[in-house]
Amino acid sequence: MRLAAIYDIHANLPALKAVLAEIRQARVDHIVVGGDVLPGPMPRETLECLLNLEIPTLFTYGNGEVAVLDHMKGKELSAVPEPFRPVIRWTAEQLDSDHQQALAAWHKIIRLEIPGLGRVLFCHATPRNENECFTRLTPEGKLLPIFQDLDVSLVVCGHTHMQFDRTVGKIRVLNAGSVGMPFGEPGADWLLLGPGIQFRHTLYDLAQAAEEVRNSGYPQAQEFAENNILKPPAEAKMLEVFSRVELK
Protein backbone atom coordinates (compact mmCIF):
# COMPACT_ATOMS: atom_id res chain seq x y z
CA MET A 1 0.00 0.00 0.00
CA ARG A 2 1.21 3.49 -0.87
CA LEU A 3 -0.23 6.39 1.09
CA ALA A 4 0.01 10.17 0.87
CA ALA A 5 -0.18 12.20 4.08
CA ILE A 6 -1.22 15.81 3.53
CA TYR A 7 -1.48 18.21 6.46
CA ASP A 8 -2.20 21.86 7.21
CA ILE A 9 -3.70 22.79 3.86
CA HIS A 10 -5.33 25.90 5.32
CA ALA A 11 -7.69 26.24 2.38
CA ASN A 12 -4.88 27.05 -0.05
CA LEU A 13 -6.59 25.45 -3.02
CA PRO A 14 -3.85 26.07 -5.63
CA ALA A 15 -1.28 24.35 -3.41
CA LEU A 16 -3.63 21.44 -2.79
CA LYS A 17 -4.31 20.97 -6.50
CA ALA A 18 -0.58 20.86 -7.25
CA VAL A 19 0.00 18.24 -4.56
CA LEU A 20 -2.96 16.15 -5.72
CA ALA A 21 -1.53 16.11 -9.24
CA GLU A 22 1.70 14.59 -7.89
CA ILE A 23 -0.23 12.18 -5.67
CA ARG A 24 -2.12 10.88 -8.69
CA GLN A 25 1.16 10.43 -10.57
CA ALA A 26 2.49 8.44 -7.61
CA ARG A 27 -0.53 6.10 -7.85
CA VAL A 28 -1.24 6.03 -4.15
CA ASP A 29 -3.86 3.72 -2.68
CA HIS A 30 -5.00 6.01 0.13
CA ILE A 31 -4.71 9.58 1.37
CA VAL A 32 -4.70 10.70 4.99
CA VAL A 33 -5.63 14.35 5.52
CA GLY A 34 -4.11 15.30 8.85
CA GLY A 35 -6.14 18.30 9.97
CA ASP A 36 -6.20 22.07 9.53
CA VAL A 37 -7.78 21.92 6.13
CA LEU A 38 -9.36 25.06 7.63
CA PRO A 39 -9.26 28.00 8.19
CA GLY A 40 -8.00 29.68 5.06
CA PRO A 41 -8.91 31.70 1.98
CA MET A 42 -10.82 29.09 -0.10
CA PRO A 43 -12.54 26.88 2.49
CA ARG A 44 -15.62 25.71 0.60
CA GLU A 45 -13.73 24.90 -2.59
CA THR A 46 -10.94 23.13 -0.70
CA LEU A 47 -13.32 21.03 1.38
CA GLU A 48 -15.36 20.00 -1.63
CA CYS A 49 -12.21 19.08 -3.54
CA LEU A 50 -11.13 16.75 -0.73
CA LEU A 51 -14.56 15.28 -0.02
CA ASN A 52 -15.02 14.32 -3.66
CA LEU A 53 -11.65 12.72 -4.33
CA GLU A 54 -11.61 9.50 -6.33
CA ILE A 55 -8.84 8.15 -4.07
CA PRO A 56 -9.98 6.64 -0.72
CA THR A 57 -9.35 9.36 1.86
CA LEU A 58 -9.36 9.43 5.66
CA PHE A 59 -9.48 12.59 7.76
CA THR A 60 -8.23 13.65 11.18
CA TYR A 61 -9.29 16.98 12.61
CA GLY A 62 -6.96 19.76 13.72
CA ASN A 63 -7.35 22.74 15.99
CA GLY A 64 -8.62 24.71 12.99
CA GLU A 65 -11.58 22.40 12.41
CA VAL A 66 -12.37 22.39 16.13
CA ALA A 67 -12.53 26.19 16.19
CA VAL A 68 -14.63 26.44 13.02
CA LEU A 69 -17.07 23.81 14.28
CA ASP A 70 -17.34 25.56 17.65
CA HIS A 71 -18.29 28.80 15.91
CA MET A 72 -20.83 27.01 13.70
CA LYS A 73 -22.39 25.59 16.88
CA GLY A 74 -22.65 29.05 18.41
CA LYS A 75 -19.87 28.55 20.96
CA GLU A 76 -17.54 31.31 22.11
CA LEU A 77 -14.04 31.39 20.60
CA SER A 78 -12.39 32.10 23.95
CA ALA A 79 -9.66 29.50 23.35
CA VAL A 80 -8.70 31.10 20.01
CA PRO A 81 -6.25 34.05 20.17
CA GLU A 82 -8.00 37.29 19.24
CA PRO A 83 -6.04 37.92 15.98
CA PHE A 84 -7.29 34.60 14.56
CA ARG A 85 -10.96 34.94 15.47
CA PRO A 86 -11.99 36.94 12.35
CA VAL A 87 -10.64 34.24 10.02
CA ILE A 88 -12.41 31.51 12.00
CA ARG A 89 -15.72 33.41 11.79
CA TRP A 90 -15.28 34.16 8.08
CA THR A 91 -14.35 30.56 7.28
CA ALA A 92 -17.39 29.24 9.14
CA GLU A 93 -19.66 31.64 7.24
CA GLN A 94 -18.51 30.15 3.93
CA LEU A 95 -19.69 26.64 4.90
CA ASP A 96 -23.12 25.02 5.15
CA SER A 97 -24.70 22.27 7.25
CA ASP A 98 -23.39 19.52 4.95
CA HIS A 99 -19.83 20.75 5.45
CA GLN A 100 -20.45 20.94 9.20
CA GLN A 101 -21.66 17.35 9.26
CA ALA A 102 -18.63 16.18 7.29
CA LEU A 103 -16.18 17.98 9.59
CA ALA A 104 -17.87 16.58 12.71
CA ALA A 105 -17.26 13.01 11.47
CA TRP A 106 -13.46 13.39 11.25
CA HIS A 107 -11.23 11.39 13.63
CA LYS A 108 -8.86 12.47 16.39
CA ILE A 109 -6.35 9.76 15.41
CA ILE A 110 -6.11 7.12 12.70
CA ARG A 111 -4.18 3.85 12.94
CA LEU A 112 -3.16 1.97 9.81
CA GLU A 113 -0.90 -0.95 8.96
CA ILE A 114 1.45 0.03 6.12
CA PRO A 115 3.66 -2.68 4.59
CA GLY A 116 7.31 -1.88 5.20
CA LEU A 117 6.49 0.57 7.99
CA GLY A 118 4.30 -1.42 10.37
CA ARG A 119 1.62 0.13 12.57
CA VAL A 120 1.34 3.87 11.90
CA LEU A 121 -0.59 6.43 13.93
CA PHE A 122 -1.74 9.66 12.27
CA CYS A 123 -2.68 12.67 14.39
CA HIS A 124 -2.70 16.42 13.97
CA ALA A 125 -0.38 17.72 16.72
CA THR A 126 0.18 14.92 19.24
CA PRO A 127 -1.79 11.70 19.81
CA ARG A 128 -3.43 13.21 22.88
CA ASN A 129 -4.14 16.77 21.81
CA GLU A 130 -4.66 18.73 18.56
CA ASN A 131 -3.08 21.92 19.99
CA GLU A 132 0.23 20.81 21.48
CA CYS A 133 3.39 22.08 19.78
CA PHE A 134 6.71 20.30 19.42
CA THR A 135 9.48 20.41 16.83
CA ARG A 136 12.61 18.54 15.84
CA LEU A 137 14.42 20.42 18.63
CA THR A 138 12.03 19.66 21.50
CA PRO A 139 13.88 17.68 24.19
CA GLU A 140 13.01 13.98 24.17
CA GLY A 141 12.26 14.07 27.88
CA LYS A 142 9.25 16.28 27.24
CA LEU A 143 7.93 13.91 24.59
CA LEU A 144 8.41 10.49 26.18
CA PRO A 145 5.26 10.71 28.36
CA ILE A 146 3.21 11.29 25.18
CA PHE A 147 4.76 8.65 22.93
CA GLN A 148 6.27 5.89 25.07
CA ASP A 149 3.10 3.81 25.58
CA LEU A 150 1.85 3.87 21.99
CA ASP A 151 1.66 0.45 20.36
CA VAL A 152 2.94 1.68 17.00
CA SER A 153 6.26 1.91 15.18
CA LEU A 154 5.63 5.28 13.50
CA VAL A 155 3.68 8.46 14.26
CA VAL A 156 2.86 11.05 11.59
CA CYS A 157 1.88 14.51 12.75
CA GLY A 158 1.71 18.11 11.52
CA HIS A 159 0.53 21.34 13.19
CA THR A 160 3.86 23.18 13.29
CA HIS A 161 4.24 23.37 9.47
CA MET A 162 7.84 22.09 9.37
CA GLN A 163 8.90 18.66 8.17
CA PHE A 164 11.10 16.55 10.41
CA ASP A 165 12.15 12.96 11.06
CA ARG A 166 13.12 12.10 14.63
CA THR A 167 12.90 9.32 17.22
CA VAL A 168 11.13 9.48 20.58
CA GLY A 169 12.03 6.43 22.62
CA LYS A 170 11.51 3.53 20.24
CA ILE A 171 9.03 5.34 17.99
CA ARG A 172 9.91 7.15 14.79
CA VAL A 173 8.03 10.46 14.54
CA LEU A 174 7.54 12.34 11.29
CA ASN A 175 6.10 15.76 10.64
CA ALA A 176 4.50 15.92 7.19
CA GLY A 177 4.92 19.68 6.92
CA SER A 178 2.26 21.98 5.50
CA VAL A 179 0.66 21.96 2.07
CA GLY A 180 -0.76 25.46 2.30
CA MET A 181 1.37 27.40 4.81
CA PRO A 182 4.90 25.93 4.96
CA PHE A 183 7.64 27.49 7.06
CA GLY A 184 10.89 27.58 5.14
CA GLU A 185 11.00 27.22 1.35
CA PRO A 186 7.92 28.34 -0.64
CA GLY A 187 5.89 25.50 -2.09
CA ALA A 188 3.86 22.66 -0.60
CA ASP A 189 5.15 19.93 1.72
CA TRP A 190 3.74 16.43 2.25
CA LEU A 191 4.69 12.77 2.77
CA LEU A 192 4.63 9.66 0.59
CA LEU A 193 4.60 6.48 2.67
CA GLY A 194 5.01 2.80 1.80
CA PRO A 195 7.10 0.82 1.61
CA GLY A 196 9.60 3.57 2.47
CA ILE A 197 9.31 7.24 3.46
CA GLN A 198 9.63 10.17 1.09
CA PHE A 199 9.47 13.79 2.18
CA ARG A 200 7.98 15.63 -0.79
CA HIS A 201 8.12 19.32 -1.75
CA THR A 202 5.81 20.39 -4.56
CA LEU A 203 6.33 23.59 -6.55
CA TYR A 204 3.41 25.50 -8.02
CA ASP A 205 2.62 28.91 -9.51
CA LEU A 206 3.05 31.07 -6.39
CA ALA A 207 2.23 34.38 -8.07
CA GLN A 208 -1.04 33.03 -9.47
CA ALA A 209 -1.94 31.47 -6.13
CA ALA A 210 -1.24 34.73 -4.32
CA GLU A 211 -3.51 36.58 -6.74
CA GLU A 212 -6.31 34.06 -6.19
CA VAL A 213 -5.98 34.52 -2.44
CA ARG A 214 -6.08 38.31 -2.72
CA ASN A 215 -9.36 38.02 -4.63
CA SER A 216 -10.93 35.53 -2.23
CA GLY A 217 -12.50 37.90 0.28
CA TYR A 218 -10.48 36.33 3.09
CA PRO A 219 -10.02 38.82 5.99
CA GLN A 220 -6.22 38.41 6.00
CA ALA A 221 -5.82 37.81 2.28
CA GLN A 222 -2.89 40.14 1.66
CA GLU A 223 -0.94 38.80 4.64
CA PHE A 224 -1.61 35.19 3.61
CA ALA A 225 -0.50 35.86 0.03
CA GLU A 226 2.71 37.63 1.02
CA ASN A 227 3.76 35.78 4.17
CA ASN A 228 2.44 32.26 3.63
CA ILE A 229 2.74 31.78 -0.14
CA LEU A 230 5.33 34.12 -1.63
CA LYS A 231 7.73 34.57 1.31
CA PRO A 232 7.07 32.12 4.14
CA PRO A 233 8.83 32.65 7.49
CA ALA A 234 12.25 31.04 7.84
CA GLU A 235 12.37 27.73 9.68
CA ALA A 236 14.92 29.07 12.18
CA LYS A 237 12.60 31.91 13.13
CA MET A 238 9.63 29.58 13.64
CA LEU A 239 11.69 27.08 15.66
CA GLU A 240 12.46 29.93 18.05
CA VAL A 241 8.78 30.92 18.20
CA PHE A 242 7.60 27.37 18.93
CA SER A 243 10.31 26.84 21.56
CA ARG A 244 8.46 29.39 23.72
CA VAL A 245 5.14 27.55 23.57
CA GLU A 246 6.05 23.88 23.08
CA LEU A 247 4.04 21.42 25.18
CA LYS A 248 2.54 24.08 27.44
Q: Predicted confidence band at 29 (pLDDT cuts at 50, 70, 90)?
A: very high
Burial 85-105 (b: 16+ CB within 10 A, else e): bebbbbbbebbeeebeeebee
**pLDDT of 31-48, one tens digit each?**
999 999 999 999 999 999
What is the Cα–Cα distance from 82 to 93, expressed in whole angstroms? Answer: 18
For residue 248, tell me if it sits in a domain: no
Contact, 8 vs 178, CB < 8 A?
A: yes
For residue 121, tell me if it sits in a domain: yes
Residue 247 has pLDDT above 90, yes or no: no
**pLDDT of 96-140, one tens digit each?**
999 999 999 999 999 999 999 999 999 999 999 999 999 999 999
Q: Quick one: average pLDDT of 161-186?
A: 98
Angle at 170 between CA 176 and CA 159, to 5 degrees: 25
Residue 70 is part of a domain; what is its CATH number? 3.60.21.10
Q: Check residue 79 and give its pLDDT.
A: 84
In terms of pTM, does the model score above 0.95?
Answer: yes
For residue 85, tell me if it sits in a domain: yes
Q: Check residue 40 and give its pLDDT.
A: 98
Closest among 83, 45, 56 to 67, alpha carbons compared: 83
Q: How many domains does the chain have?
A: 1
